[in-house]
Amino acid sequence: MRLSSPVLTRVFWSACVSACVLVFPVTTGAWGMDVHRLITERALDGMPTEIKSFFAVERAFITEHSVDPDLWRIMDLRGDRGEEPPNHFLDMDFEEGSKPPFLNIPREYDAYVQKYGAGPATRYGRLPWRAEEVYNRMLASFKDIAKPNMPFAADNARYALAVLAHYIEDAHVPFHAALNYDGQLTNQRGIHARFETELILRNQKVLKLAPVKAVVITGGFRDYMFKTLIDSQALVEGILAADLKAAEGREFYDDAYFDALLKGTRATAERRLSEAASAVASAALTAWTEAGKPALPGEGPRPPARIRR
């Protein structure tokens, strides 16, 4: 997600266009930072017993660091594949005429870049590959836990989960999977932040989320991210329609607008928030399982062993 500025909504009648345009500051990100924290906390609290205390001892640390990738984006920190922003999305429907499951997009990164070129590949995003990369880091750290003299492995696994949580949560945001990522193609600019941040934070207390359900992911983590993005893309049209309806005849994105938007998108928002939390817990369970279920250090740092002579 990106930083969304406080809601500043006003309407103006465009001098040159006769249509009424609802104006919102340009903020196009995923879940707002607070929403990332909320989902990550929920995932940690709902972890399966075998791995729950391992993460719970660093609950605050993991929750806070689940926003790191947005900070890297803001600070323009770069990884091996280049700038950070494309790591947060993949516009599944970028190719005209393409349809779910968007098999036009090669699932291998090199093939994707080769097919569309480095520029377009950067423009349309690379979330599944980035998420896979971080997942593999977490998996490697879990494997290291079982090895001798790897004192940092446990913390590395926890940090990798914090970072991975971010990308997984982003993949659940419908507007991170579509070319019309901010309603810019349909004159609905700002819908990204209105739906993902403002709507959620306004209604945090009333939204009913399903209990976290962690399952072992089969079929590979990258493919799981592709499936998540395909599901996200399918939800875009409904949210855009709800936005149009909610904004009809209104001058401001005010309380009444958000009440109307909630009516039209509540089920979608509740489902995606719930699924995002479950996906984070599932990723942790899957990596730990794939690493051979190493015994995990539990409740906090272990006391130094007594040296006997």
Residues interacting with Zn ion, by CB under 5 A? 1, 30, 70, 88, 170
- Please answer whether residues 73 and 240 qualify as being in contact, where contact means their C-beta atoms are separated by less than 8 angstroms: no
At closest approach, how far in Å is the CB of 2 from Zn ion? 7
Q: Which is nearer to Zn ion, 153 or 280 (CB)?
A: 280
At closest approach, how far in Å is the CB of 16 from Zn ion? 35
At closest approach, how far in Å is the CB of 163 from Zn ion? 11
At closest approach, how far in Å is the CB of 90 from Zn ion? 12
Q: Which is nearer to Zn ion, 68 or 95 (CB)?
A: 68
* 175-to-98, 120, 171 alpha-carbon distances in Å: 17, 18, 9
| CA 166 to chain CA centroid, nearest Å | 5
Q: Which is nearer to Zn ion, 43 or 246 (CB)?
A: 43
At closest approach, how far in Å is the CB of 125 from Zn ion? 11
Burial of 94: CB neighbours in 10 Å, binned 0-12, 13-18, 19+: middle
* 149-to-144, 152, 226, 288 alpha-carbon distances in Å: 9, 9, 36, 19
Q: Which amino acid is at 240?
A: L
Q: Which is nearer to Zn ion, 105 or 165 (CB)?
A: 165
At closest approach, how far in Å is the CB of 29 from Zn ion? 6
Q: Which is nearer to Zn ion, 127 or 154 (CB)?
A: 127
Burial of 110: CB neighbours in 10 Å, binned 0-12, 13-18, 19+: exposed
Q: Which is nearer to Zn ion, 70 or 133 (CB)?
A: 70
φ and ψ at residue 213, rounded to 5 degrees:
-125, 110
> Of 124, 81, 133, nearest to 229 (Cα)?
124
